[in-house]
């Protein structure tokens, strides 16, 4: 096991808050072994942990002393709570369904020593023992394998929150569903009602080289630590936009406490019956304002360094477009793209990209769409739109973000709304470059190439998977038309 993380003089309220932190650290397939004597607080901790995972402090969590196992469904994963105190033979654990539990979620196990050597060697172990007074406990957490790294991370987070006054027995931490990246988020709420978002974003190692000795992240100019996020957030805020304020930062460890902009996310608001045209109109107005506040030089960071926005380039556009060749064609046809078709496709696109990249440069936030835009009441435009998830921002053609919004990959934008807002954008900026229509059309098609979603492994354009197939074939054939038009 790794060097243990030890918490001393832990009161019961402290233990409940610690359970929230451990819940944040857990992943599907984990085993959390709870060690300690009778009355040490194992069931108290397990109950708080399961309630934190359920995001419901009223969830009934009875002790499994007599049932031996209790199961729970949560939004993140299933939880199986085992109590092995009455186990007569270790093999009974297999009959209780440990293997199935780990396939479906996690296992929280009291009295794990009764399982002998049947527990996975890679696991978390939390040991409760008497503290300095009858009202306190000492808590030791250890981990093996990848669990050891996560326990070290847990200690870093705990220390960071304490250092900046966002921890303690009256402060709650709850997991927030994030994006598909390794970043994780939690909402932190004090007893006073003050709120912040914890961003847990450790530096990511480079992946395997895939082209010219570079990994995908370098070719696509993806952020590898929190510095780009902090730099862009400061720049946007200084220009009058609602990027989250940075309350506290640890740039080296990849930890941030940022402003909580609330839950009125564009996509969620539409699903709740909100006025999509009104929301998207605000989004377009913010893009117009961004166009009038283009980035100017390196973006300063609080440690005295600066971030220079990478330029959107041919390599980035090409590798994004190649997703269609690498994933969607094989999914639809069951075979790789023939080399001659791939060469022809990329040759046409590279001609298009050359022209696209000749257009004036401005902000390219890249993920400017419904999951990352938040309606903010009581703020004047353009601050009435909260902007998040911009760590991969680049300098490039401003039509890129307009396409991201109007061709949203996460939900449908009716054609009438898209057409009206495109016209409004062009009218508002007035000074649009002469080639804007062609640039916008090219980036719309590039977005389609990235976003085509096959629904089966159909092998021909007139298969039941007609929608996805048609998207791909239109992309192949229209790319030549765009090349001629641009």
Give residues with Cβ within 8 angstroms of 358, minimum separation 6.
Answer: 435
Query: Across the strands, what pairs with 258?
Result: 197, 246
Q: Which two tokens stand for residue 37?
A: 């004597």
Tens digit of pLDDT at every position of the chain (486 positions): 568 999 999 999 999 999 999 999 999 999 999 999 999 999 999 999 999 999 999 999 999 999 999 999 999 999 999 999 999 898 889 899 999 999 999 999 999 999 988 999 999 999 999 999 999 999 999 999 889 999 999 999 999 999 999 998 999 999 998 776 789 999 999 999 999 999 999 988 778 888 889 998 999 999 999 999 999 999 999 999 999 999 999 999 999 999 999 999 999 999 999 999 999 999 999 999 999 999 999 999 999 999 999 999 999 999 999 988 988 889 888 999 999 999 999 999 999 999 999 999 999 999 999 999 999 999 999 999 999 999 999 999 999 999 999 999 889 999 999 999 999 999 988 777 778 888 999 999 998 888 764 443 333 334 333 444 444 445 555 555 545 545
Contact 61, 46 (CB under 8 A): yes
pTM beyond 0.75: the answer is yes
How far does the chain reach from its first CA to its final CA, in angstroms?
61
Report domain extents, the chain: 5-169, 263-485
Q: Measured between alpha carbons, how far is 270 from 373 in angstroms, rounded to an integer?
A: 12
Identify the helix (H) or strand (E) that includes residue 238: helix 227-238
Q: Measured between alpha carbons, how far is 80 from 102 in angstroms, rounded to an integer?
A: 8
The CATH code belonging to domain 5-169 is 3.40.50.300
What's the topology of domain 263-485? Aminoglycoside 3'-phosphotransferase; Chain: A, domain 2 (3.90.1200)
Contact 392, 320 (CB under 8 A): no
Q: Measured between alpha carbons, how far is 449 from 461 in angstroms, rounded to an integer?
A: 16
Identify the helix (H) or strand (E) that includes residue 355: helix 339-356
């Amino acid at each position: 096991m790794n060097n243990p993380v030890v918490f001393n003089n832990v009161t019961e309220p402290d233990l409940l808050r610690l359970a929230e932190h451990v819940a944040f650290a857990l992943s599907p397939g984990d085993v959390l072994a709870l060690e300690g004597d009778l009355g040490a607080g194992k069931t108290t901790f397990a109950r708080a942990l399961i309630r934190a995972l359920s995001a419901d402090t009223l969830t009934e969590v009875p002790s499994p002393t007599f049932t031996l196992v209790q199961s729970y469904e949560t939004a993140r994963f299933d939880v199986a709570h085992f109590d092995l105190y009455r186990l007569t033979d270790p093999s009974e654990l297999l009959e209780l369904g440990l293997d199935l539990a780990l396939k479906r979620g996690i296992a929280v196990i009291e009295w794990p020593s009764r399982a002998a050597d049947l527990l996975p060697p890679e696991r978390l172990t939390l040991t409760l023992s008497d503290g300095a007074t009858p009202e306190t406990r000492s808590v030791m957490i250890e981990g093996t394998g990848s669990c050891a790294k996560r326990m070290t991370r847990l200690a870093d987070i705990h220390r960071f929150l304490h250092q900046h006054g966002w921890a303690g027995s009256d402060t709650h931490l709850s997991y927030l569903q994030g994006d598909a990246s390794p970043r994780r988020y939690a909402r932190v709420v004090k007893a006073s009602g003050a709120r912040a978002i914890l961003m847990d974003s450790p530096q990511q190692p480079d992946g395997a080289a895939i082209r010219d000795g570079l990994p995908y992240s370098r070719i696509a100019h993806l952020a590898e630590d929190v510095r780009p996020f902090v730099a862009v957030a400061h720049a946007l805020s200084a220009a009058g936009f609602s990027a989250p304020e940075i309350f506290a930062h640890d740039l080296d460890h990849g930890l941030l406490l940022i402003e909580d902009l609330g839950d009125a996310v564009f996509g969620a608001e539409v699903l709740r019956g909100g006025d999509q045209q009104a929301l998207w109109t605000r989004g377009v107005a913010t893009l117009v304002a961004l166009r009038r506040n283009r980035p100017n030089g390196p973006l300063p960071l609080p440690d005295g360094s600066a971030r220079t926005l990478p330029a959107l380039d041919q390599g980035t556009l090409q590798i994004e477009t190649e997703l269609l060749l690498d994933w969607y064609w094989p999914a639809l046809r069951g075979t790789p793209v023939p080399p001659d078709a791939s060469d022809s496709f990329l040759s046409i696109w590279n001609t298009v990209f050359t022209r696209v990249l000749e257009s004036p440069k401005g902000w390219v936030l890249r993920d400017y769409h419904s999951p990352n835009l938040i309606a903010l009441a009581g703020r004047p435009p353009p601050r009435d739109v909260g902007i998040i998830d911009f760590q991969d921002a680049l300098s490039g053609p401003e039509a890129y973000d307009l396409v991201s919004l109007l061709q949203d990959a996460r939900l449908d934008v009716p054609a009438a709304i898209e057409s009206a807002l495109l016209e409004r954008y062009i009218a508002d900026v007035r000074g649009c470059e002469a080639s804007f229509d062609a640039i916008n059309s090219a980036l719309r098609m590039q977005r389609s190439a990235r976003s085509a979603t096959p629904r089966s492994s159909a092998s021909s354009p007139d298969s039941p998977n007609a929608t996805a197939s048609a998207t791909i074939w239109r992309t192949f054939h229209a790319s030549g038309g765009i090349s001629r038009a641009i």
